[in-house]
Amino acid sequence: MEQHRLLTTKQITRYLQAKEPYHTDSVLRRLRKFTKYKILIKYQHTFAVRGFNFSFNYYRLGKKGAEILVSEGYLPVDFNTGSVALAKKGNPIHYLAAQEIVSHTLEKNHNKFAIESINPFYTKYFDSDYPQKSKLLVSPDWILKKDNMYINLEIDNNTETLGVLEEKVSRYLKLNKQDQNKHTVMICFVDESFHTTKRPQKRIKNLKNKLLKGEISANLNCLILPLERSYSRPYQLMNDLPFDSSNRRMYMEEVLLETLKRQSKVHYPFECDQLADEEQILSYIEKEYGARPDLLYKEITAQGVRIYRMGMMMREGDIYCLYKLKLFSRLINENSFLDHLGIKIAGMYACYSTKDELLHDILGDPLPFVEFTALEEISSWNNPPKFYTYNANKEMEGFVYERKVKT
């Protein structure tokens, strides 16, 4: 409690269950006892949903609780036990929303990996451009760490302007350059999943559009998500394969392309093959436009016409993925992209790991010449690969290609 300052009943339960199995009733009995003896101090937050009032309890460490921790050696003897009263935040939802992500992460981890939960009050990010690092560069709402990977949580409760959030991202860009690209930023928008009726989709879209007009870097992992979509993300980021160019390429080549080659014999209407000079073309695209797709390959239609298609691995909420997606959609739409190389790009596939990510990503305006899919939607031997278009209503609409036999 001293480390995390404020926690709800459910969050305390998750932290305990991350260590060992705990029954909810047992946790509630302990909380009642601790609050009775002022070891913990209980508060109640009330909120209204569609005219009905709801409430939940949250807690902080009491002075008596701090004294017990000092006497048992869990806190230093010079710890100011009176300071725990300062933990009662003026905006508890903002703070508790960060703890919601942290508690879900640690519960899911269940001591499998060395994931650290770090209070930013004790870990400062200083600007190394200043002598003795005397200037604070940026202060996240919370930090999760595994090995050399830092996930910095920023919670948006609609209390800051988008300009402030944009400025924070620019500071994280600078921090990442100074600190060997160790940092990931998750900007999480409080939504109806956590004691509020807020629906932040429009605000998320506006922030993404604002960031897309500024400095975008492939070196900073920046994810922008509704709170509900954030609960499992830190654990995934820390334990999945890194989302770097080599692994994105591996998924595109070994899963997407190989699947389409295999399916072309059964369901997919085009014959697919790699390009001998693919790497040179991709390098040219990167040099000319500052970004590169993860795959470029050729398809031959039933009429024998050769066309070219790009592939790109996507990640929900990833601002750099969205930047590349919009860039290549625009270039293909201009109708002269790579024509001087004798290559006519017909479109591109944007592939997510899961259908769930695909359907929940907030993309903004329609994206011409882009078809979407997920690894799980293309990997079946028995069913045709399923694709999606992002229609004018900003919804994903699924379809399968119709197999046509070459005559």
In a 3-state reduction of DSSP, which class is residue 174? helix
Domain end (from 200, 215, 240): 240
Tally of structural domains, the chain: 3
The pLDDT-based confidence of 401 (bands split at 50, 70, 90) is confident
| Res 206 pLDDT > 90 | yes
For residues 148 and 234, membership in a common domain is answered with yes
pLDDT of residue 407: 37
Quick one: pLDDT band at residue 23, thresholds 50, 70, 90? confident
Q: At what angle do helices 162-178 and 201-212 cross, to 10 degrees?
A: 50
Question: What is the DSSP annotation of 335-350?
Answer: T-TTGGGT--EEEEEE
CA atoms 60, 65, 67, 69: torsion sign: negative
Domain span at residue 48 reads: 1-88
Beta bridge partners of 345: 308
Here the CATH number for the domain that contains residue 115 is 3.40.91
| pLDDT for the residue numbered 312 | 97
Q: Is the pLDDT of residue 202 over 80?
A: yes
User: Integer distance in angstroms from the first to the last C-alpha of the chain?
Assistant: 72
Tell me, what amino acid is at 176?
Answer: N
CATH code of the domain in which 75 resides: 1.10.10
Quick one: pLDDT band at residue 309, thresholds 50, 70, 90? very high
Do 268 and 189 reside in the same domain of the chain? no
Task: Answer yes or no: do 221 and 283 share one domain.
Answer: no
369 and 232, same domain (yes or no): no
* Diameter over CA atoms, the chain: 86
Residues 226-245 pLDDT 10s? 999 999 999 999 988 889 89
Domain final residue, candidates 59, 88, 117 = 88
Residue 131 has pLDDT above 50, yes or no: yes
78 and 128 housed in the same domain: no
Contacts of 203 (CB under 8 A, 6+ apart): 156, 158, 162, 189
Same domain, yes or no: 302 and 250: yes
Q: What does the pLDDT look like over 316-364, one tens digit per residue? A: 999 999 999 999 999 999 877 898 888 989 999 999 999 999 999 999 9
Most confident of 92-96, 340-344, 370-374: 370-374
* Residue that terminates a domain, selected from 216, 240, 264: 240
Residue 362: name the closest of 228, 251, 247 by CA. 228
Check residue 88 and give its pLDDT: 59
Q: Looking at residues 102-124, what average pLDDT do you find?
A: 85
In the chain, the percentage of residues whose pLDDT exceeds 90 is 57
pLDDT band (50, 70, 90) for residue 86: low
pTM score, whole prediction: 0.91
What pLDDT score does 185 carry?
Answer: 97
Q: Is residue 396 domain-resident?
A: yes
> The sheet that has 7-8: what strands, in order across it?
7-8, 52-61, 40-49
Same domain, 289 and 330: yes
Place 392 in a pLDDT band, splitting at 50, 70 and 90. confident
Say if residue 342 is in the same domain as residue 280: yes
Asked, for residue 182, whether it belongs to a domain, the answer is yes
DSSP 318: B
* Res 292: pLDDT: 94
The residues with which 67 forms a beta bridge, in sequence order, are none
Q: What is the pLDDT of residues 272-295, one digit of tens each?
A: 999 999 999 999 999 999 999 999
Contacts of 109 (CB under 8 A, 6+ apart): 18, 115, 235
* pLDDT score recorded for residue 405: 43
| Residue 13 φ/ψ region, left for φ over 0, alpha for ψ in the -120 to 50 degree band, beta for the rest | alpha
- The DSSP bridge pattern shows strands 7-8 and 52-61 to be antiparallel
Q: Is residue 185 part of a domain?
A: yes
Q: Is residue 74 part of a domain?
A: yes
